[in-house]
């Protein structure tokens, strides 16, 4: 009887403890480290990454926290960010596929000249829908939380650019391989640099300017380093760049199921729509600030001049389509689908 009572007592204690263990397991907390290349004053950091992380925390009752490390604080250089996520050096990265030219050829379709929409929201939503249909294999080394593309880029230079001939020999920093090819087709001298290196390169006259959207201008003080800004208005726009928020696959798969559900609910199209806001909402604010500076001049290409640029850069698109066959995919079909999706999300 004594042995039986002891056994029952132990069994009862175990049963009483079981709910506590279950509660403990279900209440597991997790902190993920997110690494990126821009300073904390950058609009994407303040108006996308931080609100997104706060939303994830709130919806998980503060059990899933995302700690953001800007300015490459965890080490390495911007072109290494994707591999940092792949290899588990960090948990999540925000990066440009264009930082590693040619590595992700299919997503380049959104970076071809005069393909993208001048606003970020249609590009971001189209890019994510395109990703789900065509890019899973290209980014299979990571778990992609979201991929998107920004609004139309602007030429910022130390001399005026109002026509094709003004670009001749102008040393311009480009963000992606296809933007570089477009600038070369227009007669410029493209130079590839990660965005954090632009201020020093301008100060040392390694470059004469940079091609970036308005949104990023204040984070690198570009409005203080050059005084001429050329917009290419209308749809389609001159260029866009793509981004990914990528997570280490093993880390994602090891997450508690309920926390993974929270992250999934804040991924994909939800995240794409949030990601577009810094460009569409903060870009005009930046532009207005630059316009108020007496020493800065903003010009816009005429419709006739823009058409000259469109014609001059068509070989860049043709070359990318032709090269796609050698890379094992149908570039013409991807191009048609990208255009369809951008049009779909532009309405």
pLDDT tens digits for range 130-150? 999 999 999 999 999 999 999
Nearest Cα to Cα of residue 146 among 164, 128, 123, 129: 128
**What's the pLDDT tens digit per position in 200-256?**
999 999 999 999 999 999 999 999 999 999 999 999 999 999 999 999 999 999 999
What is the pLDDT of the chain when averaged over all its residues? 93
Sequence-ordered strand ranges (E) for 92-169: 92-95, 143-149, 154-157
Check residue 344 and give its pLDDT: 98
Strand duo 242-247 + 154-157: pairing = unpaired
- The tokens of 51 are what? 């609100």
Split at pLDDT 50, 70, 90, the class of 164 is: very high
Question: What pLDDT score was predicted for residue 17?
Answer: 43
Q: Which CATH architecture has domain 29-107+119-149+241-282?
A: 3-Layer(aba) Sandwich (3.40)
Show the CA angle centred on residue 85, arms to residues 341 and 91, nearest 5°: 105
Q: Sign (positive/negative) of CA torsion 45, 73, 125, 338?
A: positive
Instruction: Go through the chain and tell me how many residues it has.
Output: 347
Contact predicate 70/38, CB 8 Å: yes
β-strands 209-212, 154-157: how paired? antiparallel
Coil, strand, or helix at residue 262? helix
State which H helix or E strand residue 123 sits in.
helix 120-134
Classified as helix, coil or strand, 316 is: helix
pLDDT of residue 20: 37
| Predicted local confidence at residue 2, as pLDDT | 45
DSSP state of 62: T
CA distance 191 to 164: 18
State what percent of residues in the chain have pLDDT above 70.
93
Residue 23 pLDDT: 39
Q: What is the reported pLDDT for 24?
A: 40
Q: For residue 20, what are its two tokens?
A: 């506590």
- What is the rounded average pLDDT of the residues 174-186? 97
Please report, for residues 109, 110, 135, 266, 268, the alpha-carbon distance to residue 105 in angstroms, rounded to integers and kept in the order given. Answer: 8, 10, 10, 27, 21
3-state secondary structure of 190: strand
The stretch 79-99 carries a mean pLDDT of 97
Mean pLDDT of 176-202: 96
185 vs 36: CA distance, rounded Å: 31
For the stretch 5-50, pLDDT in tens is: 444 344 444 444 444 333 344 579 999 999 999 999 999 999 999 9
When the candidates are 3.50.50.60, 3.40.50.720, 3.40.50.150, 3.40.190.170, the CATH number that belongs to 154-239+290-344 is 3.40.190.170
Enter the tokens of residue 35: 């690494």
pLDDT at position 61, please?
A: 97
Where in the sequence of the chain do the CATH 3.40.190.170 domains occur?
29-107+119-149+241-282, 154-239+290-344
| pLDDT tens-place string over residues 45-73 | 999 999 999 999 999 999 999 999 999 99
- Distance from C-alpha of 129 to C-alpha of 32, rounded to nearest angstrom: 26
* Global confidence as pTM: 0.90
Which of 205, 214, 219, 159 has the alpha carbon at shortest distance from 39? 219
Look at residue 278 in the predicted model and tell me its pLDDT. 95
How confident is the model over 77-92, as a mean pLDDT? 98
pLDDT band for 347, please (50, 70, 90 cuts): confident
pLDDT score, position 4: 47
Phi and psi at 6, nearest 5°, equal -60, -45
């Amino acid at each position: 009887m004594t042995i039986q009572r002891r056994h029952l007592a132990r069994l009862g204690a175990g049963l009483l403890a079981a709910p506590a263990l279950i509660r403990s397991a279900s209440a597991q907390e997790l902190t993920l480290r997110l690494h990126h290349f821009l300073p904390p004053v950058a609009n994407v950091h303040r108006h996308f990454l931080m609100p997104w992380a706060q939303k994830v925390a709130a919806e998980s009752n503060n059990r899933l926290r995302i700690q953001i490390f800007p300015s490459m604080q965890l080490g390495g250089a911007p072109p290494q960010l994707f591999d940092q996520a792949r290899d588990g050096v960090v948990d999540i990265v925000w990066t440009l596929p264009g930082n590693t030219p040619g590595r992700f050829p299919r997503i380049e379709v959104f970076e071809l000249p005069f393909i993208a929409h001048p606003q970020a929201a249609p590009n971001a939503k189209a890019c994510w829908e395109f990703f789900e249909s065509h890019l899973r294999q290209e980014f299979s080394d990571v778990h992609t939380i979201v991929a998107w593309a920004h609004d139309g880029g602007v030429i910022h230079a130390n001399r005026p650019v109002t026509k094709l001939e003004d670009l001749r020999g102008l040393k311009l920093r480009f963000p992606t391989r296809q933007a570089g090819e477009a600038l070369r087709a227009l007669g410029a001298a493209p130079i590839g640099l990660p965005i954090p290196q632009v201020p020093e390169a301008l100060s040392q006259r390694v470059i004469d300017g940079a091609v970036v959207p308005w949104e990023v201008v204040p984070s690198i003080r570009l409005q203080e380093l050059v005084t001429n800004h050329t917009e290419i208005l209308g749809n389609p726009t001159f260029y866009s760049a793509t981004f990914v928020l990528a997570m280490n696959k093993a880390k994602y798969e090891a997450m508690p199921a309920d926390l993974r559900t929270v992250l999934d609910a804040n991924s994909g199209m939800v995240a794409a729509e949030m990601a577009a806001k810094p460009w569409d909402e903060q870009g005009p604010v930046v532009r207005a600030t630059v316009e108020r500076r007496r020493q800065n001049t903003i010009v816009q290409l005429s419709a006739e001049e823009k058409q000259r640029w469109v014609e001059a850069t068509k070989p860049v698109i043709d070359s990318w389509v032709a090269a796609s066959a050698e890379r094992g995919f149908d570039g013409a079909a991807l191009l048609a689908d990208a255009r369809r999706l951008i049009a779909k999300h532009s309405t």
